[in-house]
Amino acid sequence: MKLRVTVTTHAEQAAQDRDYWRRQTPEARLDEVERLRRESGNFLYEYPARLQKVVTVTKK
């Protein structure tokens, strides 16, 4: 394993991140969003594997 360290600014890193995600397929982007949702949900709120849809119907 080779270790590579780079020094960059926040703006440069943000541009690199945007370029990286633009090169990814839509499926890969959605997979990452789902992974982040599960990770943050388990950590913060202990979400179930899938969010439940709740519909409320009211009459005036």
Mind listing the pLDDT tens digit for each residue in 12-41? 999 999 999 999 999 999 999 999 888 887
Give the pLDDT confidence score for residue 31 in this predicted structure.
93
Report yes or no: 28 and 37 within 8 Å, Cβ to Cβ: no
Where residue 57 falls among pLDDT bands split at 50, 70, 90?
confident
Where residue 45 falls among pLDDT bands split at 50, 70, 90?
low
Interacting residues of 31 by C-beta distance below 8 A, sequence separation 6+: none
Cα–Cα distance measured from residue 37 to residue 50, given in angstroms and rounded to the nearest whole number: 10
Report yes or no: 20 and 12 within 8 Å, Cβ to Cβ: no
